[in-house]
Structure formats: C-alpha cells, structure tokens
Amino acid sequence: MPFLTACGDDESIDLGTPKYESISGKYTINNPSSPYKSIELGAGGDYIVTLNNGYNTNLSTKVTLNKETYGIFRQPKTKSRATNYNGIIYGQYTENSDGTLNLEGFGTIEIVYGTGEEVKGFNLTPTNGGPVTLDVTKEETMSDDELTNALCRTWKIEKVRMIEQGDGESYDITLTPQDWEQFEGEIEVFPKEVLFSKSGTYMIYYADQSIGISSWKWKNQSAGTIYYSWDNEWYDDEFATLSFSGNQLIISETYEENDELGYYKFETYTYLVEK
C-alpha cells in the first residue's frame, strides 16, 4: 500500500490554517466556585468543556494493542449517548457578528483580553443560566511548526483498514462509517471524529455518541510518531505514526510478536480528512 512518511522527500501537506487558530487552546478556570474546570477551543471550531468533579482521565490500565483495543482509537469502557459525557461537554462553536463565540448547546462566550493578545477571562452566558465572569489561564501549548499545525485540528474518519496475520489466521478488512457494524467482532464502535490540540489533548467522538479523551505528545517528530496516553502514563509501545498526503491524514499502528506461542501481527491504517 502506498504510504507517505510524515517528513521526508515525499512529504505532501496541503492544509490551510484552521479558522480559529488564533484563539485556540485549553483554558483553565481559576474561579474556585466555578462548575467548570476548563474550556478548550479547538482550532477547527470544536469545543470541549470539562466540569469539576466530572470526567476521570484514568479510564483504563495499560493494555497491549490488538484488535479488541484498537490502540489510539480504542473506546473507554464507560459510555454515554449524549454530548454531555461524564462531565465533558463537546460541540461546535462559531463566531457571532459581535465577536462573541456561540458554543452550540452550551452558551455564549465573550473573550476578555489582557496585555496584547493574552486571554485573561471569559464572560460566559450559559444557555440555561445567567451570565458569569470566569478568570482563566491558557495552558502551555506546543511549538508552532508545520507538522504540529497540520495535526492540530478536527478530523473526520473516512475508513479504517485492519490487517491481522497469525499462525493459521489472517484477514484484511476495511471499515467505513456506513458498514462498520458488519465487523462488530473486530471493533467495538466506529470512531467518527478526532480532535488534536496543541495543549496535548486528543478527543475521539464515536458512532454511538460516546467520547474518549486523553493526551498526546511527539515521540519523534522527524519520524512523524506520537505517543498517546489513556491513563496519564506514557508507554514506549503506545505510539502511532502519522502520514500526510494533501489534505488527508493517515494514522497507523503495528503490533507484532513472535514467541513460543507463534507469530502474530496486527496493523491498523486510519484515513482521515479535515472536518
């Protein structure tokens, strides 16, 4: 299968600057009595609100990549069929004509600036409540470079190719949003969208409206590899390789072992386009 590396002579990245790049970031709420822990504005126009005493990021213990877990896109065991998922509110936002932001299903935010372009607060009017002023601090972000800029946006997953090879067993299947339920034995639920941010967040929105949210960081940027973490720990074998071709992103993972029990290899190739 043709496969471009993330960096190198064959590199091909054709992605513009996301619409909300200038205000994107994860903002920690400093008000002690606030029901909100943080508000993250994605560069592509998606938002994540974390409620206090809500989402627990220690979702799972470390597991080895295989067809049941599906690595970077595996689904947490706790599910919810709503965009308010266990203390996480997720949706899209747009800019109103007066410069405020409309966070769909959550409320309206006016950004309060300090010195220069520094964001120091939000004037929030919740959909079901009165206005409140929030003191915020923007969390540290990653460096501004071509690969990080290309990755950090919201992506729509077009298809997933899964290849298994083993002693006496093998298959090569491709799943899409339309037919993935035919392969429920190989994947628990199809991941529809994924948001990567420069704050190190990545969030997956699944076909059953559940959400998985965790962390990522570069493993080896020159090789296009990233670590991912589901339990606030980083493991050498939990990483994925990125490949860009025009406006498409391909994320691949490989798990392989050869021991006294025999040979086993499992590969996934996830094809994404900007949302």
pLDDT tens digit sequence for 135-167: 999 999 998 899 999 999 999 999 999 999 987
Residue 240's pLDDT is: 96
Return the beta strands (E) in the chain as ranges: 12-13, 25-29, 36-41, 46-51, 84-85, 88-95, 101-103, 107-113, 119-126, 132-138, 154-166, 169-175, 191-196, 201-206, 211-220, 225-229, 239-246, 248-259, 262-274
What are the tokens at 171? 């298959």
Report field, pTM of the whole predicted structure over 0.85? no
Name which residue leads in pLDDT, 185 or 242: 242
Q: Which of 78-82, 142-146, 188-192 has the lowest mean pLDDT?
A: 78-82
Q: What's the average model confidence in pLDDT over 86-106?
A: 92
- Amino acid, single-letter form, for residue 221: Q
- As a whole-number percent, the residues of the chain with pLDDT over 70 amount to 85
In the predicted structure, residue 59 carries a pLDDT above the cut 50: no
Q: How many CB atoms lie within 10 A of CB 226?
A: 23
Mean pLDDT, the chain, as a whole number?
Answer: 84
pLDDT at residue number 39: 96
pLDDT of residue 75 exceeding 70, the answer is: no
Predicted pLDDT at 258: 85
Q: Is the pLDDT of residue 120 over 90?
A: yes
Quick one: pLDDT band at residue 54, thresholds 50, 70, 90?
low
Per-residue pLDDT, 185 = 75
Structure-model confidence comparison of residues 180 and 186, the more confident one: 180
68 has pLDDT over 60: no
Q: Which of 51-65, 74-88, 201-215, 244-258 comes out lowest in average pLDDT?
A: 51-65
